Amino acid sequence: MLDSGTVGRCLQDRRRRVLPNAWRDDRRLDGLASVDDVVTSIRVLDPQSDDVLRALLEVREQPQTAGEVILAALVPFVLARCVGRPDRVDEFVAELAIVIGEEREAAVLRSATRRVANQLLDRAWGRVRLPARRVHQPIAVDPTRLHRRVLGSEPDPADLAIARLELAAASDLLERCRRSDAAVDRAWKTALQLIDVDGRTERERQQLNYARRILRQSIGAQHVA
């Protein structure tokens, strides 16, 4: 699982290592000899930071390593945005990793005036916040009950109506099956007799399970508990 602790360990393992030779061909990385130098440069959030990030996003040799370096460099900004909500840190890191991968593959960032780091962070942070910003469906309330405080969401009236129709249809089907099939009638009576019995014997449990099986076959499993 990708989380902030894993990213930190990856950075500690690599920070003193020299950059891969293939990366040194990019002039945007001139003067940066180690991973630590790259991380420091990214965190300044200046024009050079943008150049370094774009260079890492475009590398073709060891792209996974480049993505991990970017992610590690941006972790302090992740922690800053999650102040007061530590439960969101790992989710933010995971979303940021996805955003980095998307940018590397498809170059989805469009702004030429905003810092690349901020664009990556904003895109990932927006995904983290999205579930919390979703608006619940409107709650249907009987006008005669408006004076009472609504403590929770009420079922959608349309869902209740459908459920009632399904229950009515199941009841009609059961009645027809009971009249035409003695086994269904016996199963129904057995279920009524045993369903509320506490401490059923093994024989009674077997009888109830058998009755349920007969009823499921007759009127559908969705209508039999």
Q: How far apart are CA 186 and CA 193, in angstroms?
A: 11
- Which amino acid is residue 203, in one-letter code? R
Q: What is the pLDDT of residues 112-131, one digit of tens each?
A: 889 999 999 999 998 888 76
Cβ–Cβ under 8 Å, residues 194 and 204: yes
What does the pLDDT read at residue 224? 47
What does the pLDDT read at residue 151? 46
Q: Which two tokens stand for residue 200?
A: 């059923």
Q: What is the pLDDT of residues 42-95, one digit of tens each?
A: 999 999 999 999 999 998 888 888 888 999 999 999 999 888 888 888 889 999
Q: What is the pLDDT of residues 156-196, one digit of tens each?
A: 554 555 455 555 555 666 677 667 777 777 777 777 676 66
Q: Which two tokens stand for residue 136?
A: 């619940």
pTM here is 0.53
Residue with tokens 């003193």: 16
What does the pLDDT read at residue 146? 45
